[in-house]
Structure 1
Amino acid sequence: MTCERRLVPLFTGPSPYRGRRVALLTRHGKERVIAPVLEPAIGCRIELVEGFDTDRLGTFTREIPRAGTQREAARKKARIGMELANLPHGLASEGSFGPDPIAGMFSWNVEFVIFLDAERGLEVVGVAQGKANHGHLLTGDWTVAEAFARQAEFPAHHLVVRPEGENDPRIRKGIAHWAELEASFAWAQTQSVNGLAFLETDVRAHVNPTRQSTIRAAAEDLAAKLLSPCPVCRAPGFWIVDRVPGLPCSECGAPTRETRADILGCVRCPHQITRLRGDRREADPGRCDYCNP
């Protein structure tokens, strides 16, 4: 699912959040994938906060653009949830979609799950990424639209339909049944000057199982970080902050751009350590600038 290497914590300790209430602001069912991971892992009790329409902060269907970065949006959600629940600890998740980072040939999903601790002044972020189920199609042919829907794993993954093109403000979301999809397709054609309908995968978390899996992986990453305390100040979240290149080539021994060590750092104090990677001692010659210029 993810392209990030999973790091085993160098230091582990008891959870500082056992028995604590943690606010989670969402209206798209994210508690169903986040709570089963974090509650047993760190011993907290996640409390769903629903008193705010998170679509006001941005929508994937482009009616409302997201302000700021992905991390800033997640932070804002968490703070709103904390304020509404009157709790010092909060969670939120925020996703983004774009081309895959290797070849740019298919859709890629990056998910952040952020944890804010107002008592300690800490912010810890779990991250996961992987191939997304997020496609689109412009067509006037129902047979072509039906084939697209099957490829998008409809109806397990819901669809969105608009007339004419991707930015038309007339929209039907959360389409979950074949009869509903066919009716929406016909509606879009009648509303369209060009007779075309624009279909896309609905990537809201509660209607996109592929995205749910990536959010769950981000929650697992967050749990591991929260259970990794700084060896100096004991703040949770002692994790990778940078990487050291130079893994030697297995053919010629020259240093490559492949990672040789991880630099772990604290989110609160300046303490850092360098940890050599034990999973690989040499790099593939294909990654060597000398052997494969």
Structure 2
Amino acid sequence: MTSTDRSARRTVSYAGRRIALLTQHGKERVIAPVLESVLGCRVERVAGYDTDQLGTFTREIPRAGTQLEAARKKARIGMELSGLPLGLASEGSFGPDPFAGMLPWNVEMVVFIDDERGLEIVGSAQGHANFAHRLAASWEEAQDFARSAEFPEHHLVVRPQGEDDPRIRKGIASWAALEAAFFWAREQSANGLVFLETDVRAHANPTRMANIRLAAEELAKKLCSLCPACGTPGFWVLERVLGLPCADCGAPTREPRGEVLGCVKCVHREVRHYSDRVTADPGCCEHCNP
């Protein structure tokens, strides 16, 4: 082992270290086991702060800034409340899928901040979301929506009249509670309609919680990937290298043939070519398949 290797191992060790995680929606259940098993650290949930003040998915309080900025702010608040130099937080976003724009999609970020080393490293994951809504005029319509939304495993939110009505009931997790909320909302509604939507807070949405776990897994991999030059964690893919040659004509295609990895602290970069991909399918070639 070289002196650089030994220095890198000392630099990366988070074994036994306490890491603050600010959450009020149960995210520690999926984040802590992943990081603790890989890094040997102690992820400590920080309470005493209402993270809904930073924005709600049900639109009462808009989120300020980007998804990453929101996660970073949460991590900083957790670090301040706990007095720890290491912090974690996660933030999610929802929208249409990036392929056809037809399906609900969820992007999750888990940010790690190390003030001792001046590091910020982000794990991310994305995938299908259980994120839907419906206006219902009858209890039967409400039941149909609830079943399609995988209720009661996934909780629901109910409002009278429409999606922006300030009267709201969240965290509905039983059929009895849903029935009571539905008829309460319909009585309050001037148009006789009830707006139902999935509750996408982490503790209320197992599909989202699974994506948070995947983001934590990517973060753990990044924290274990050390820069060959300086030993800093977070040596990871910056961009893909395109140009994999066509299997038929040999012309470069837009398929990736490798990737560029870089350090978050120093200027070190490496290009790594894929060993399992030698040629591209001719169907991807602009010459063979214009």
Which structure 2 residues correspond to residues 58-207 of structure 1 after superposition, within 5 A?
Answer: 58-207=55-204
Q: TM (normalized to structure 1)?
A: 0.93
Whether the 8 Å contact between 1:161 and 1:188 is mirrored in structure 2 is yes
Structure 2 counterpart of 1:40, one-letter code: S
2:283 and 2:141 map into 1 onto residues whose CA distance is: 41
Structure 1 counterpart of 2:255, one-letter code: E
How far 1:256 moved relative to its partner?
A: 1.6
Structure 1 counterpart of 2:173, one-letter code: A
Give the match's secondary structure for 2:260.
strand
Provide structure 2 residue ranges, at least 5 long, that are not aligned to the other structure: 1-7
Q: CA offsets per residue over residues 111-158 of structure 1, 9 Å max, x none?
A: 001100000000000011110111111120221211111111100000
Structure 2 counterpart of 1:78, one-letter code: A
Q: CA offsets per residue over residues 213-252 of structure 1, 9 Å max, x none?
A: 1000000000000000101111100000111111122333
| Number of equivalent positions | 283
2:194 and 2:274 map into 1 onto residues whose CA distance is: 51
How far 1:59 moved relative to its partner?
A: 0.5
Partner of 2:242: 245
Q: Which range is displaced more, 185-194 or 33-42?
A: 185-194
Q: Which range is displaced more, 86-95 or 246-255?
A: 246-255
CA 1:279–1:201 in structure 2 vs 1: closer, same or farther (change >3 Å)? farther
Within the candidate set 273, 278, 293, 2:275 is matched to 278
1:68 and 1:17 map into 2 onto residues whose CA distance is: 30
How far 1:261 moved relative to its partner?
A: 1.1
Partner of 2:3: none
CA 1:258–1:289 in structure 2 vs 1: closer, same or farther (change >3 Å)? same
Which structure 2 residues correspond to residues 20-39 of structure 1 after superposition, within 5 A?
Answer: 20-39=17-36
Which structure 2 residues correspond to residues 192-271 of structure 1 after superposition, within 5 A?
Answer: 192-271=189-268
How far 1:278 moved relative to its partner?
A: 2.5
Whether the 8 Å contact between 1:240 and 1:265 is mirrored in structure 2 is yes
Aligned-pair identity in percent equals 69
CA 1:230–1:161 in structure 2 vs 1: closer, same or farther (change >3 Å)? same
How far 1:182 moved relative to its partner?
A: 1.2
> Which protein is bigger by CA-based radius of gyration?
2
CA 1:167–1:284 in structure 2 vs 1: closer, same or farther (change >3 Å)? farther
Whether the 8 Å contact between 2:104 and 2:131 is mirrored in structure 1 is yes
Provide structure 1 residue ranges, at least 5 long, that are not aligned to the other structure: 1-10
Whether the 8 Å contact between 1:258 and 1:287 is mirrored in structure 2 is yes
1:213 and 1:85 map into 2 onto residues whose CA distance is: 27
How far 1:69 moved relative to its partner?
A: 0.7
Whether the 8 Å contact between 1:14 and 1:227 is mirrored in structure 2 is no
CA 1:52–1:250 in structure 2 vs 1: closer, same or farther (change >3 Å)? same
Structure 2 counterpart of 1:103, one-letter code: A
Q: TM (normalized to structure 2)?
A: 0.94
Are 1:291 and 2:280 an aligned pair? no
Give the match's secondary structure for 2:203.
helix
Structure 2 counterpart of 1:33, one-letter code: V
1:126 and 1:196 map into 2 onto residues whose CA distance is: 41
Whether the 8 Å contact between 2:31 and 2:212 is mirrored in structure 1 is yes
Q: CA offsets per residue over residues 64-104 of structure 1, 9 Å max, x none?
A: 11111111111110011001100000000000011111111
